[in-house]
Amino acid sequence: MNSDSISNSNEPVYPKHPILIVDDEHSIAHLFQMKLEDLGITNTELCNDARNVLPLLHQKEFEVMILDLRMPYISGEELFPKIIHDFPGLPVIVLTYLDDLETAVRCIKNGVFDYLPKTVDDSRLFSSINHAIEFREMNREIQSLKSHVLSKELKYPDAFKTIITQNESMFSIFQYLESVAQTMYPVFITGETGVGKGLVAEVIHQISHRKGPFVHVNVSGIDDHMFADTLFGHVKGAFTGANTERPGLIERASEGSLFLDEIGDLSLQSQVKLLTLLQEKKYFPIGMDKSRQCHARIITATNCNVEKLIDEGKFRKDLYFRLHTHRTHIPPLRERLDDLPVLVDYFLEVASKEMNKKKPTTHKELIQLLRTYSFPGNIRELKSMVFDALSRHESRVLSMNNFKQHINRQKAPSDEKEEKNFTLLNLFKTLQDLPTIKESSEQLIKEAIKRANGNLSIAAPILGITRQALSKRLQRQKNIF
């Protein structure tokens, strides 16, 4: 079986599975193999006998097939219907000297991905093959997502152990991440500060099974020159002070994952450079006129509202579309309060070991108290609350005082008060008849006690009064009725 391949085991290969070039003329096939290698497509394999194509496809997985039409024994036109029938997910690109519109239309109608002349320019060839690879990846993702939804199980549950949760929406996110982790596309992670976006990025890298490392950089506050130097690196003498060559993070993350945190703070000039990298999959180290191939998978995260930044002209829409091929939003802690018991227990376990203290028991009202708080700092804030409480802990049961004090200190800063007042004002505007002060007071007390699960000590701070004042109000209501 005549089959030659190019792929240096010491160099990263692209794509993951080889591209099969089928042409009976060995010199032509080899020429295109070398052309693709120059374009950064380094994982290719040749087949000069059309009779060997189907056996090859049954032996191993290929990313894309480049097929000549006129060949002895079996022509390309005879071969590709069998390929499309037996291997429906494999994109077939016809590459031929035959300049015939009728043949081209017939091929496309029969399921060929693209039809190109052998005189095609490099950029058109590169674009066609990349689109075919993306099509192949998208098909894999759809199939993977379907199987995850049907199975309702995680394939790599151990990878998610660093994310402490028992929330159903988080489990759905995990299923989605497993479906997209092994594709080559960027992943865009959104969520408020402290929800664990960095942990999610690390999990994506872990279950992607990429050979290279996970490289994390916070791009917030990095100017345009520093961004280019950090990501692309520089050669010796590229600028004053560049006494040695410095590899960029893209090179360090080769065959791994490059995590760009706080991407919403990136300057417009740096956004252009990142967009070019994503489009071309190539970059130029500072001071070098020869491009290098990017073999790192890009993961980005932000706590910003990127759609709003786009409207304000602070973030490029075309970059946004490139980055969020795969997108996941991590919900804030206030939307997954069922995680409070497991998170508190976990942080107590960790804090006890770090402080060399015996893990204390907690008041049964603690979780209910925490449920009344909005956690603007999310899981990171909860962790600091637990650690601070344990550092002051002296008795057998963990005191609730530190938690209460923290909540009271953080409640309703001036901007939050303005937002709450605005919301209340709009609520009142919707009412035809305003409630009386007595009616409003009764309803507020009722709702606060409901949220506190009947605990007056927890309900009182929600209303901004003492427990004694709340008891008096309840007694007055009772006497009235």
pLDDT for res 418: 55
Q: Do domains 3-140 and 152-331 have the same CATH topology?
A: yes
Instruction: Report residue 257: phi and psi, to 5°.
Output: -130, 135
Domain residues of the chain, as ranges? Answer: 3-140, 152-331, 334-410, 429-480
pLDDT for res 415: 47
Predicted TM-score (pTM) of the model is 0.72
As assigned by CATH, the class of the 334-410 domain is mainly alpha
Per-position pLDDT tens, the chain of length 481: 556 665 555 567 788 899 999 999 999 999 999 999 888 899 999 999 999 999 999 999 999 999 999 999 999 889 988 998 899 889 999 998 877 788 888 888 888 999 999 999 988 998 899 889 988 887 877 777 666 655 668 889 999 999 999 999 999 999 999 989 988 889 999 999 999 999 999 999 999 999 999 999 999 888 888 999 999 999 998 888 888 999 999 999 999 999 999 999 999 999 999 999 998 888 999 999 888 889 999 999 999 999 999 999 999 999 999 998 899 999 999 999 999 999 999 999 999 999 999 999 998 889 989 998 999 999 999 999 999 999 998 878 899 889 988 988 876 554 455 555 556 666 666 777 777 877 777 888 888 888 777 777 777 777 777 778 777 777 777 665 5
The token pair that represents 53 in the structure block: 């194509």
**Topology adopted by domain 429-480:** Arc Repressor Mutant, subunit A (1.10.10)
pLDDT for res 424: 61
pLDDT for res 413: 54
One CATH from 3.90.280.10, 3.30.70.980, 3.40.50.300, 3.30.70.20 for 152-331: 3.40.50.300
Q: The domain 3-140: what is its CATH number? A: 3.40.50.2300
